[in-house]
Each structure stands twice: as structure tokens, then as C-alpha cells.
Amino acid sequence: MTSTMGAAALPGKVRLEFGIAGGLVAANLMAIGVMILTGLNALGLNWITWQWFPMFGQLFGAPGLTPQAAMYGLLASQLFGIIWGAIFAFAFTKYTVMKGLGIGAVEFFVIVMALCLVSTAALGGTLLSLGLFAALPILLGLAAAMVIWGAAMGYIGKHYMP
């Protein structure tokens, strides 16, 4: 006998569990992607040339360019992944990669707004103080990370949720 229970009928507990677990997995994949993109600098492919995790840590009050700021940043990126995963889980009744990319785009704009308002030592100011050409590589690296997160979240939802 096949189940006729669709995604619309999923209870809130199941959606929350999916949002938390899927968001955490997607955040971990994004963190690995960021590390790979940062590592490409050694090959001369400068995708992410700033200190990603200290930058996020400084958004949440961590001091300077320290290992503590990087740990705050890693924790913040994991928490953002979980929170946005829960938003994704409750925002849609059917999950697709494109919808994951859409939530990733919203997350991108939220982070960009925060970086426009909060000065970080990793960036040497805010995004607005950097100017367009200095901010463009930062925006591209951030967009690449959000694409990884959104695609992973959408893929997980599409393939593992009813």
C-alpha cells in the first residue's frame, strides 16, 4: 500500500527536524566549500581572499582577527544554517533545489545587509566603506557559499522528504 501523505500534510515536528538536520548538513557542506574556495588561493585562483569565519564571528561581537573570532564565526554559520533550514522547511510544501537556492538568496541579502552596517576587522570596515570594486570579490565569495548551502538544502529536501 502506498502512502498518499504529501508534503503539505507533514506535521510541524517532522518539518522542524528536517529543517534542523538539513540546515546543519547544508551548513557543514557550505563550510567545507568555503574552505576549498579559500584553499584555491594557493593555486592562484583567488575566490575567497578574506578571513571568512573571523568575519562572521565579528558580526556577532567576537574581538579582532583571533581564533576565538573564527570559532564564533563557525558557530554562527552553523546556527544560520539551522535557522534558515527551519525557515526553508516551513516555507514550502514541496522541496526543490531551486527553492533552496531562493532561500539561499534571501540569506545572502540578509548577510550583505549586516555586513553593510557592521564594521569587521576581516574586511577593514563595512561593505559600503570598501567601494564597489573592493566589495565585489567578497560578494561573489558570499554568493558562492550561499549557492552551495541553498543547493544542498534543496537537494536534501527533494530527495529525502516525501
pTM attached to this predicted model: 0.86
Q: How does pLDDT run across 97-109, given as a tens digit for each residue?
A: 999 999 999 999 9
**What are residue 120's phi and psi, to 5 degrees?**
-125, 145
Which pLDDT value is given to residue 8? 55
Which pLDDT value is given to residue 5? 47
Which pLDDT value is given to residue 154? 95
Which pLDDT value is given to residue 2? 41
Query: CA-CA distance, 99 to 82, in Å (whole number)?
Result: 16
Average pLDDT over residues 31-53: 84
Which pLDDT value is given to residue 54? 87
Cβ 132 vs Cβ 5: under 8 Å: no
Which pLDDT value is given to residue 123? 84
Q: How does residue 40 score in pLDDT terms, banded at 50, 70 and 90?
A: confident
Query: CA-CA distance, 84 to 106, in Å (whole number)?
Result: 9
pLDDT at 45 over 80: no
Bridge partners, 64 (sequence order): none
Query: CA-CA distance, 72 to 62, in Å (whole number)?
Result: 7
